[in-house]
Structure 1
Amino acid sequence: MPVAVQAASTPTSEPLVLAIDLGTSGCKCALVGLDGTVHAWSFRAVPLHLVGDAGVEQDPQDWWRAFLDAAQELLAPDAARRRQVVAVCCSSFGECTVPVDAEGNALSRAILWLDMRGAPAIRRRARSGLFNIQGYGPLKLARWLRLTGGAPSLSGKDPAGHMGWLYDHHPSLVARTHKFLNALDFMNLRLTGRFCSTHDSALTTWATDNRDLSRVRYDAGLLKVLGLERDKLPDIVHSTEVIGSLLPAVADALGLPRETRVVAGAVDNSAAAVGAGTVRDGEMHLYLGTSSWLGAHVPTKRTDLGSFVASVPCALKDRYLAMAMQSAACSNLAFLRDRILFHPDELLRDEMRPDVYQVLDRIAERVPAGARGLIYTPWLFGERTPVDDKTLRAGVFNLSAEHTREDLIRAFLEGVALNTRWMLEPMLRFVRGHRADAFTVVGGGGQSDVWCQMLADVTGMAVRQPQAPIQANALGAAFIAGVGLGELDYADVPARCRHRKLFEPRTAMRGLYDERFDTFRELHRRLAPMYRRLNRPQEATT
């Protein structure tokens, strides 16, 4: 369903960035001033395709159509507004693989970050002989950690696994592939005609040497381990590089000047860190979208292999972004809405959709903290931090005949909050030495006052809520463009990020949620072996 928000008309002299925020659910476009004002935005949904038990795909052409429709809606009504646009910059979800030919045509649907078909392929490439450490050959793991700061996920959810699966099962498609692109790379290709990848977009190929941020490059040894060909990977640029001007056909379709510049942009975690205003060392942001993550900029490259937290290249030229990843956040609420609370025929009625999450919010607020003993584990797609375990599954614990759907709604929200605390603990250790008593919540989930207060109570940390949490990625893309154009410095960004409210943890809730968290962790300890037996990885061939 198209959604657009138009603010008051903008001053004719103010430069604007057409910021693109491509997420798994769809494409948002925004017109953003370099002072941080979002003057207008629009959204178009993009469908998801499930393939067998482990495949998750999207059609890249759907991304492009969603972008054009959303951007045209913003730009078409106002010629003066079009003249204010000085740049286009994109933020997109990462860990995605699109094989394209030399003309830039997608040769298949995109393999998404949720896709686990590459697990067998990457496990074969990662291990060595008889002795392995957590599934990795010791020498291979040491090289990955030393050069990249991380290692391919054995769940197969990143491009290293995607490409391994394609090489193993679709060699004829690989032979026709000119470049393997991430989602950001594909959008930039369609905007400019240039094949390139940013430092953060190229990261999860797990073939780049990231030790020197001024010289991030592919490593021949890692390419050999992964079985990848260098000439099938795009050249690497920095997020703030002006990679070209809009292609004439694109400029004409949008009504923009053909000399409109395109700045390389960043993947969503890097863009959100900038858009949240958390650019100083150790300042944390929590992104609550389809998936979730905690991020904080740090000065050095480090890895905590035991908790799967690492610092990796990002949009800042002289900093790394420490990351802790959660596989499913708002997707749990989408599951609750689509699979449990409502029949599909009800959800077809467009008038219901915009209000569903607000209704869930109001219901959850009426339920006592602790959901009357109900605990939800939000592992719909396995988990990544502080454990990398694709076999984990979601579940409702301690359900009785006395519980209601209202309790279930509260438990879903609390489950994501408890899981956030689970990944917060190693993250706080990782950024030790930096002040970390609060974090900023961005993404669609950050719009919920109920959830923000719950996160503060569960984690014991203050939660900052921006004026428009859902616009953080678009803001980040705009600020990255401003830095690329020489109009901004990253040090200017915090003052341009406006906050709506600060949620303080309530002392009265501490004992309850400490007890719930202990139970949550015990559920993992006891259930993980059973999940591994039930969901033993199968060799995927299609």
Structure 2
Amino acid sequence: MDEQLVLAVDLGTSGCKTALVSRSGTVLAWAYRPVTLHLLDGAGAEQVPEDWWQALLATAHEVLDKAGVSASRVAAVCCSTQGEGTIPVDREGIPLMNAITWMDMRGAASLRKQVRGWVNVAGYDPLKLARWLRLCGGAPALSGKDPAAHMLFIRDMYPQVYHNTYKFLNVLDYLNFRLTGRFVATHDSIQTSWVTDNRDVDRIRYNDKLLQASGIEADKFPELVPCTEVIGVLRADVANALGLRRGTAVVAGAIDNSAAAIGAGTLADGDAHLYLGTSSWIGAHVPQKKTDISAMIAAIPCAVPSKYLMMAMQTSAGNNLSFLKEKILYHQDELLNEEQLPDVYKIFDRIAAKVPAGSQGLLYAPWLYGERCPVEDRSLRGGLFNLSLDHTRETVIRAILEGVALNTRWMVDPVQRFLGRKLDCLTAVGGGATSNVWCQIFADVLGLPIRQLAEPMQANAIGAAYIAFVGLRQLDFATAAAQTRYRATYQPNHVHRNLYNDSFGAFTELHRRLAPLYQRLNHQGL
């Protein structure tokens, strides 16, 4: 009998990647479609849910055609998606407005009103903060990037939309509805709504006091399910559209950080992965709930039973390169015919490899849209520092790669304190991890070996597939982790160590000195 397969969907901020994956983690076919991000005045960032769906259908068709396998071999569909998005839908599941994405900060003012009291600690009513930390393991981000703030923004600024909302769905929840017709949220997709009691990670549930504190009516939240639950079968119209058999299972799946941790093979406690996509993070499974609110690091529910996932989130990583490509180097007319362009990111790699480490003293701050860890500050912005006539376009490209790595190094100390151990390696995943040059830069800047997956861009899809096979009881997570394949390991170049130590010292001093100025300059836009 032919081996069964999973149609695994990885919907990120930049686009939708879909793969056909076997139980051994082999990707038989893979396809990608970009999705437009709409940046709005006042720190808004939206996407059109129908764009996600059309990208899913197009990529699914392509991989099924490429692989040429019988539909009977596709046992399940399972999604991994960007997290912290918010889509208000009516009773038919139809979106009532564009999706508010994880980058959107327009709800910050509404959130601050909701979380404050007569006396405040770090911007929160101390009793509310204590409850969030005790039950959830964290608290709503004052930056406004959580669904907790998005929903309040809709309530306050779009009251008719709020009135007509049947359920608020995260991105994963919306795709699952389109696939099955069922309104559900997974244990990890609901996390940053900050309304669940997470003390028993295998029995996540809504808490009445947290629901009341949210300012959102309780019946607007969906049913909760574990990531590995089979939530139904493909709707007949979807099965017909994709050419899959009716009765194909749909497994709940996970948001991107949970799926990446599984696809990276980092299952053991404290074994960390570094995700390099539009945003970036360091994640590691841990055995218990814990929070470091000063560094904005928390252990949150994930896809692996009886485990939490430590998350340290960096807001901007690969989007610094896409900003350079789309808003500096190429005109919009050229991007409309992007298939005629060379592979710009590979060109960036070749250019950066020719520039000496340290970028000739040029520093880059990668804070294009504020920052979350190790400081939560929505006023921070990106910039080049120490630019001179001696520098070139090539130097700037290298400085951007180094700037993201320096910001990641800023997170490493609080991550190690959180884990109670030194990191001995990081497994790099995501689109940015396909760059050999960037992996070496990270190894040099962090002073850590960087282990590169065999197919870094497919880690989330592979993670989603493993979640599906576990849900179908055809695999366990330990076996899945043992199947992980690597392309290379990059060792730190100690000749560069002192140079990057100096760069890091200047980088953190730059933040310390400029943070008050950023807050003053950007206060009106916040």
TM-score where L is the length of structure 1: 0.95
Q: Distance in 2 between matches of 1:352 and 1:527?
A: 41
Q: Which residue of 2 aligns with 1:220?
A: 208
The residue type paired with residue 71 of structure 2 is R
Q: Which moved more, 1:70-79 or 1:448-457?
A: 70-79
Whether 1:105 and 2:90 are equivalent positions in the alignment is no
Which structure 2 residues correspond to residues 390-401 of structure 1 after superposition, within 5 A?
390-401=378-389
Q: Distance in 1 between matches of 2:76 and 2:467?
A: 11
Q: 1:532 aligns with which of 516, 519, 524?
A: 519
Q: 1:507 aligns with which of 494, 497, 506?
A: 494
Q: Which moved more, 1:486-495 or 1:186-195?
A: 486-495
CA shift for structure 1 position 270: 0.3
Q: 1:317 aligns with which of 300, 305, 312?
A: 305
Q: 2:81 aligns with which of 77, 92, 107?
A: 92
Whether 1:463 and 2:450 are equivalent positions in the alignment is yes
Q: Give the secondary structure class of the aligned counterpart of 1:80.
A: coil
Q: 2:504 aligns with which of 500, 512, 517?
A: 517
CA shift for structure 1 position 354: 5.4
Whether 1:476 and 2:463 are equivalent positions in the alignment is yes
CA shift for structure 1 position 347: 2.9
- Given that 1:279 and 1:493 are in contact with CA atoms closer than 8 Å, whether structure 2 keeps it comes out as no
Q: Distance in 1 between matches of 2:101 and 2:293?
A: 24
Please give the per-residue CA displacement for 1:138-173, whole angstroms capped at 9, x wherever unaligned. Answer: 111111111101111111111000001011111111
- Given that 2:111 and 2:149 are in contact with CA atoms closer than 8 Å, whether structure 1 keeps it comes out as yes
Q: Give the secondary structure class of the aligned counterpart of 1:497.
A: coil
Q: Which residue of 2 aligns with 1:199?
A: 187
Q: Distance in 1 between matches of 2:342 and 2:269?
A: 37
Q: 1:50 aligns with which of 39, 50, 58?
A: 39
- Given that 2:29 and 2:67 are in contact with CA atoms closer than 8 Å, whether structure 1 keeps it comes out as no
The residue type paired with residue 5 of structure 2 is L
Q: Which moved more, 1:363-372 or 1:218-227?
A: 218-227
Q: Which moved more, 1:528-537 or 1:391-400?
A: 528-537
Q: Distance in 2 between matches of 1:60 and 1:340?
A: 28
Which structure 2 residues correspond to residues 10-49 of structure 1 after superposition, within 5 A?
13-49=2-38
Q: Which residue of 1 aligns with 2:431?
A: 444
Q: Which residue of 2 aligns with 1:122?
A: 111
Q: Distance in 2 between matches of 1:343 and 1:48?
A: 17
CA shift for structure 1 position 349: 3.4
Q: Distance in 2 between matches of 1:84 and 1:215?
A: 33
CA shift for structure 1 position 419: 0.4
Q: Give the secondary structure class of the aligned counterpart of 1:123.
A: helix
The residue type paired with residue 154 of structure 2 is L
Which structure 2 residues correspond to residues 414-453 of structure 1 after superposition, within 5 A?
414-433=402-421, 436-453=423-440
Q: How many residues align?
A: 526
Q: Which residue of 1 aligns with 2:60?
A: 71
Q: Which runs of 5+ in 1 are unaligned?
A: 1-11
Q: Which residue of 2 aligns with 1:286?
A: 274
- Given that 1:288 and 1:442 are in contact with CA atoms closer than 8 Å, whether structure 2 keeps it comes out as yes
CA separation of 1:352 and 1:374: change in aligned 2, threshold 3 A: farther
- Given that 1:76 and 1:255 are in contact with CA atoms closer than 8 Å, whether structure 2 keeps it comes out as no
Q: 1:175 aligns with which of 159, 163, 167?
A: 163
Q: Distance in 1 between matches of 2:52 and 2:112?
A: 31
- Given that 1:94 and 1:183 are in contact with CA atoms closer than 8 Å, whether structure 2 keeps it comes out as yes
Please give the per-residue CA displacement for 1:247-298, whole angstroms capped at 9, x wherever unaligned. Answer: 1111111111111101000000000000000011000001100001110000
CA shift for structure 1 position 137: 1.2
Q: Give the secondary structure class of the aligned counterpart of 1:168.
A: helix
CA shift for structure 1 position 353: 4.2
CA separation of 1:78 and 1:358: change in aligned 2, threshold 3 A: closer
Q: Distance in 2 between matches of 1:353 and 1:480?
A: 36
Whether 1:364 and 2:346 are equivalent positions in the alignment is no
- Given that 1:22 and 1:92 are in contact with CA atoms closer than 8 Å, whether structure 2 keeps it comes out as yes
Q: Which moved more, 1:376-385 or 1:44-53?
A: 44-53
Q: Which runs of 5+ in 2 are unaligned?
A: none
Q: Which residue of 1 aligns with 2:197?
A: 209
What's the % identity of the aligned pairs?
A: 58
- Given that 2:43 and 2:525 are in contact with CA atoms closer than 8 Å, whether structure 1 keeps it comes out as no
Q: Give the secondary structure class of the aligned counterpart of 1:201.
A: coil
- Given that 1:76 and 1:254 are in contact with CA atoms closer than 8 Å, whether structure 2 keeps it comes out as no
Q: Give the secondary structure class of the aligned counterpart of 2:127.
A: helix
CA separation of 1:352 and 1:526: change in aligned 2, threshold 3 A: farther
CA shift for structure 1 position 44: 1.1
CA shift for structure 1 position 80: 3.4
- Given that 1:272 and 1:442 are in contact with CA atoms closer than 8 Å, whether structure 2 keeps it comes out as yes
- Given that 1:28 and 1:42 are in contact with CA atoms closer than 8 Å, whether structure 2 keeps it comes out as yes
Q: Distance in 2 between matches of 1:478 and 1:209?
A: 28
Q: Distance in 2 between matches of 1:215 and 1:445?
A: 35
Q: Distance in 1 between matches of 2:389 and 2:132?
A: 50
CA shift for structure 1 position 133: 1.6
Whether 1:136 and 2:134 are equivalent positions in the alignment is no
CA separation of 1:413 and 1:166: change in aligned 2, threshold 3 A: same
Please give the per-residue CA displacement for 1:96-149, whole angstroms capped at 9, x wherever unaligned. Answer: 0000111111111100001111010001111111x3222111111111111101
CA separation of 1:485 and 1:538: change in aligned 2, threshold 3 A: same
The residue type paired with residue 122 of structure 1 is L
The residue type paired with residue 55 of structure 1 is G
